[in-house]
Amino acid sequence: MAKNMKNLLLLSNSTTHGYNYLEHALDSIKGFFGDDHKAIAFIPYAGVTFSHDDYEAKVANVFSSLGYSINSVHNGIPRDIIENSDAIAVGGGNTFQLLRTVYEYELLELIRSKVETGFQYIGWSAGANLACPTIRTTNDMPIVEPRSFQALDLVDYQINPHYLDAHPEGHHGETREQRIEEYLVLNHDKYVVGLREGSIIHVNGDKHILLGSKQARIFKFGKKAYEIEPGTDLSTILV
């Protein structure tokens, strides 16, 4: 049986209260990529209210401080930029716009095949959603219509980034937990990981380790939702 070579870093969010952009995750990012220089292909497609150039500059400012270079796929032929890079980074924003554009440039199968053979992948928010089987547990408004909701399927479970427990007084809409429960009624076979802000999942081969200081909330149809502690290997419980 072939060895599982997947190596992913999936972040709930990019901005955490009290920190600059991606600052809360710098140690994890450095630990993930290591000390050697990495040329990283950046996918900015989830960005909607700012230009791809601006998005690239914002991300490059962080990654260059760690010794890595960023080249956004909008600077040329996206497939060629990915093929000539050492890793891939997928930024947050609107998940529907991200997936639609990934389909438009026929990148889904390329990214999947690269990651399955050891190509490193880091994604935050929408970029974490993209790594899941589908984008059906995103929080985003469907401002555009992708070809399909099928995503990279690099992990077996769904992620709900920015997971919130809050139910504001006087608010009569569904809570985040209720919306996830609706998804599970129609998708019995899937687990959903409520990934709170500041939390990260590091996928290294068959291990899926929860990083950060917060618990994650686990949902499965027919089971009571429960919490897992940082350091837990999700692969041992999501079966």
Catalytic residue set: 125, 140, 162
Question: Where does residue 141 rank: exposed (0-12), middle (13-18), buried (19+ CB within 10 A)?
Answer: exposed
Cα angle 180-186-189, degrees, rounded to a multiple of 5? 85
d(C-alpha 235, C-alpha 112), whole Å: 20
Tokens 């380790």 correspond to 209
**Cα angle for residues 130, 53, 134 (degrees, 5° grid):** 10
β-bridge mates for residue 122, sequence order: 9, 89
Residue with tokens 């919130």: 164
